[in-house]
């Protein structure tokens, strides 16, 4: 053990002594690269879509968004009809789906005994699993005719004085598309609401019930209040889905590049219009205006999603603070 015969250890042994192993470094490196790739991918999508749309954005300017025109002959293009179609179908779907989803989630968590809740929850999940193209097929060939023959005449009888319920019933239009969207987002929102309601502390509900409130009063006063931000996030996620759905809407909305007064009439949405042009646009302006539509759609749905995520993160932080 004399200090004169000091030999420096081999590098690998040195690493080993410090607890570093080549396998670990490599594995961690690969995992980091994968995580970076996922992040870069999101950025790349946003950048590429905007880059593709740039010629159109420069050509048409921002006024494209609120211009109502789609004329391949005169090369006049504007997005208003599609923005309108997207907004109105999604908002109808949202207004119908939100109370239904909350009610379904309440039924599954607060009312139904476990034996009943489990199969119904599975069925709602399966509703989400139906491919949108199949729902669209059903929407245009089965549901659309039913809406035309029964639902729309009935709406006209009852609410015909409103402009949106005037006009001739048709199997493809704003209303059938909105209803198909409703069917698509109910399973999404209700599944998230169910998760939320399960996590509401039971003692809060018990406290309310012990004070003599009815079940509904406890739900309204405690459960819904507690879960409100989460419900808002769930609704926004459903809305994001509705904004972005292209195929089922394309099959059911009728693909008319106009802003219809009546909900019975055909219209078009951003996603649907893009999908309709897949076989190839006929002119450069038309192709680039389609890309402009894609950019608008991306910005809208990314914004909706980011807001929903922010609410979720805040909600979780608040919940942990309780």
Question: Between 120 and 159, how does the x/- string for binding to another protein read (CB under 8 A)?
Answer: x-xxxxxx-xxxxxxxxxx-xxx-----------------
Residues paired with 71 in a beta bridge: 76
> Is the Cβ–Cβ distance between 137 and 249 less than 8 Å?
no
Question: Between 173 and 212, how does the x/- string for binding to another protein read (CB under 8 A)?
Answer: ----------x--xx--x----------------------
> Is the Cβ–Cβ distance between 179 and 142 less than 8 Å?
no
> Is the Cβ–Cβ distance between 56 and 292 less than 8 Å?
yes
Instruction: Tell me whether residue 175 or residue 294 sits nearer to another protein (CB atom).
Output: 294
**Min. distance of Cβ 42 from another protein in angstroms?**
5
Taking alpha carbons only, the member of 292, 285, 257 closest to residue 273 is: 257
**Min. distance of Cβ 115 from another protein in angstroms?**
14
Which of these segments, 75-83, 110-118, 157-165, 260-268, binds another protein (CB under 8 A)? 110-118
CA torsion, ordered 237, 239, 244, 246, to nearest 10 deg: 130
Asked if 275 touches another protein (CB under 8 A), the answer is yes
- Counting beta carbons within 10 angstroms of the beta carbon of residue 50, is it exposed (0 to 12), middle (13 to 18) or buried (19 or more)? middle
> Is the Cβ–Cβ distance between 110 and 223 less than 8 Å?
yes
**Min. distance of Cβ 47 from another protein in angstroms?**
10
Instruction: Tell me whether residue 45 or residue 198 sits nearer to another protein (CB atom).
Output: 45
Question: Between 8 and 47, how does the x/- string for binding to another protein read (CB under 8 A)?
Answer: -------------x-xx-xxx-xxxxxx-xxx-xx-xx--
């Amino acid at each position: 053990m004399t200090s004169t015969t000091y030999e420096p250890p081999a590098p690998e042994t040195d690493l080993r002594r410090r607890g570093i192993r080549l396998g670990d470094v490599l594995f961690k490196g690969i995992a980091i690269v994968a995580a970076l790739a996922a992040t870069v991918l999101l950025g790349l999508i946003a950048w590429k879509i905007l880059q593709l749309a740039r010629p159109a954005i420069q050509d048409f300017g921002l006024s494209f968004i609120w211009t109502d025109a789609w004329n391949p002959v005169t090369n006049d293009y504007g997005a208003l009809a599609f923005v309108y179609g997207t907004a109105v179908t999604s908002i109808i779907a949202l207004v119908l789906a939100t109370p239904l989803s909350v009610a379904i989630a309440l039924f599954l968590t607060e009312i139904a005994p476990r034996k009943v809740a489990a199969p119904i929850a599975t069925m709602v999940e399966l509703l989400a699993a139906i491919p949108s193209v199949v729902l669209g097929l059903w929407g245009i060939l089965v549901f659309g005719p039913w809406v035309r023959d029964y639902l729309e005449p009935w709406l006209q009888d009852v609410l015909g004085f409103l402009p949106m319920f005037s006009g001739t019933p048709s199997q493809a239009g704003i209303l059938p598309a909105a209803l198909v969207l409703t069917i698509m987002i109910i399973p999404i929102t209700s599944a998230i609401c169910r998760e939320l309601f399960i996590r509401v502390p039971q003692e809060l509900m018990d406290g309310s019930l012990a004070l003599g409130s009815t079940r509904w009063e406890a739900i309204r006063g405690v459960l819904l209040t507690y879960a409100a931000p989460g419900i808002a996030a769930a609704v926004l996620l459903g809305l994001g889905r509705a904004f972005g759905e292209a195929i089922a809407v394309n099959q059911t909305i009728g693909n008319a590049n106009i802003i219809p007064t009546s909900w019975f009439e055909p219209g078009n949405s951003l996603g649907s219009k893009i999908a309709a042009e897949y076989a190839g646009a006929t002119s450069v302006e038309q192709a680039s205006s389609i890309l402009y539509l894609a950019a608008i759609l991306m910005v809208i749905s990314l914004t909706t999603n980011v807001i929903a995520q922010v609410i979720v993160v805040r909600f979780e932080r608040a919940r942990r603070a309780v």
